[in-house]
Copies of this chain bind each other. A is one copy, B any other.
Amino acid sequence: MAATKDSKEPRPCSIADTLALVGEKYSLLVLREVCLRNGRFDQLVRNIGAPRDVLATRLRRLVDAGILTKRAYSERPQRFEYRPTPAGLELEPVLMTLMAWGDRHLRTADDRPMVVEHSCGNELVPTVTCATCGDRIHHEDLIAHPQAPGWTVAGPTAA
Q: Which A positions have Cβ atoms within 8 angstroms of B? A: 7, 9-19, 21, 23-25, 28-29, 32, 35-38, 46-49, 66, 83-84, 87, 89-107, 112-120, 122-135, 137, 139-148, 151-156, 159
- In angstroms, Cα B113 to Cα A148, docked, is 5
| Interface residues of chain A: helix, strand, loop or mixed (majority) | mixed
Q: A28-B15, A113-B11, A144-B116 are in contact. Are A36 and B154 (CB under 8 A)?
A: yes
- Cross-chain contact of A141 among B24, B95, B112, B119 (Cβ < 8 A): B119
A14 to chain B, nearest CB (A): 3
Q: Name the distance in Å between A70's Cβ and chain B's nearest Cβ.
A: 15
A113 interface neighbour in B100, B105, B147, B152, Cβ under 8 Å: B147
**CA of A126 to CA of B143, assembled, Å:** 13
Pair B89/A98 contact, Cβ less than 8 Å: no
